[in-house]
Amino acid sequence: MQNNQRTIFEALKWASSLLTEAGRDQNAAELLLMHVLDLSRSELLARFHDQLPDEQDRLFREFVTQHKKGVPVQHLIGIEFFYGRPFEVNKHVLIPRPETEEVVLAALNLMSDIFPHDQPLKAVDVGTGSGAIAITLALEKETLSVTATDISHEALAVAKRNQQALGADVHFLQGDLLEPIKDQGIKVDLFISNPPYIAADEMGGLSEVVTKHEPVNALTDGRDGLWFYKRLVRDLHHVLHEQAVVVFEIGHKQAQDVKTLLLQSFPAADVRIVKDINGKDRAVCAHIKTESPAE
């Protein structure tokens, strides 16, 4: 009887060609097959000429077809890596982006510049989603006590599972932006947020992989992209210690607007714009040291 099994190499070649024709990332084929076979990339490459068992081949074909239709690879395999750690993701949370790792690094560096290394500090991550920012901060800086908020119960459920899986100490609160922090009278040394910042008129330019499968209310404010920054900056003085670090992730066109918002409320702040590895404005960071924010 003829053997119709494909080799791993043949399966990858087929998938890469199919995904490229569909305008998808051909590297997704490797990620999907690594998941199906439970192999690392080096192990996969070493077994290029092995036969692909029928059941794994069937599942691989199904995943490739789903991704061709627009389902994110991360939803098919259930995780995305952030700061070298696996985070569960699903339709209720944004898939963490590599650019956001640079925002976390900027926050850690700014805190190191301003505060003594052994000083106990408090942080809040607003709009935590999968918990990637909050959990990473807690794991990277042991002296940091981290609270994270989100308005979505479903997102917080994902974040809590990630916290448990990764062994992080993060306190989660459900509520709208800074409201749960204000309600509990919490004061922090670090405020960080990656709010929905895509303007409504820019949503049409996004891939359907994003718009059809990630939570729209975590992508856009339905307005000009600045609405959440305005609301957050307005309330910051309620939750910051007299000396604090503020870090916003931003869209590449929003740096000056967000910087202006911060300086209007905190005229004495040292506000910096941080670019990502691609040279695009990615974060607005502020060192705030004031007792009387401007009204």
Q: Which residues carry a binding-site annotation? A: 127-131, 150, 194-197
Rounding to the nearest 10 degrees, give the CA dihedral for residues 6, 7, 9, 11.
30
Phi, psi of 179 (to 5 degrees): -55, -50
**Which pairing describes strands 121-126 and 85-88: parallel, antiparallel, or unpaired?**
unpaired
Q: 201: burial class by Cβ within 10 Å (0-12, 13-18, 19+)?
A: exposed
Binding annotation for S-adenosyl-L-methionine:
127-131, 150, 194
Annotated binding-site ranges for substrate = 194-197
**What tokens does 122 get?**
């408090």
What single DSSP character describes residue 194?
A: -
Tell which residue, 239, 123, 130, 258, has the closest CA to residue 192: 123
